[in-house]
Amino acid sequence: MDKILELLKERNTLLRKFYTLNKAEIFRLSEGDFSRLEYFYKSRDNILELIAHIEQKVNILSESIDKNSLTSVHKNAVKSELNTKESVVNEILEQDLSILSYVDTEKSRIIKELGSVTKAKSAVSAYHSEGSNRKLRSK
């Protein structure tokens, strides 16, 4: 049971690291810095892989434990770790909504900018086209 508790604590440590990573990225995004987005997502994926590995170990170990032999101390410790996990995960979900909002806002801005550039190119192209037609007519 001690090994399971150790793994649960390790998982919660990784979740806190995930939270901290999100927090730093939210700050960068709020400043308009999207340059590390790919690195950010890769870092998150690495943490999630580690968490999945820990979860797998916990599941394997928990199958071999006699549930009737668990003391109230063990049960309370597990409940505490699960409550911590739930709390951190809820905070991470809120952060993810903020991150998605920043990314969507930037995506919309870029799409509008590209639309403006396309219109400007069309106008310049039409102007050059009209100039060429004038030259041809004057000959």
What is the residue-wise DSSP string for 79-123? HHHHHHHHHHHHHHHHHHHHHHHHHHHHHHHHHHHHHHHHHHHHH
Tens digits of per-residue pLDDT, 31-52?
999 999 999 999 999 999 999 9
Q: What percentage of residues in the chain have a pLDDT greater than 90?
A: 63
Q: What does the pLDDT read at residue 138?
A: 53
Global pTM? 0.76
Tens digits of per-residue pLDDT, 44-80?
999 999 999 999 999 999 888 877 778 889 889 999 9
Start-to-end C-alpha separation, the chain: 94
Q: Does the pLDDT value for residue 122 go beyond 80?
A: no
- Contact residues for 3 (Cβ-Cβ < 8 A; gap 6+): 61
Structure tokens at 133: 């037609």
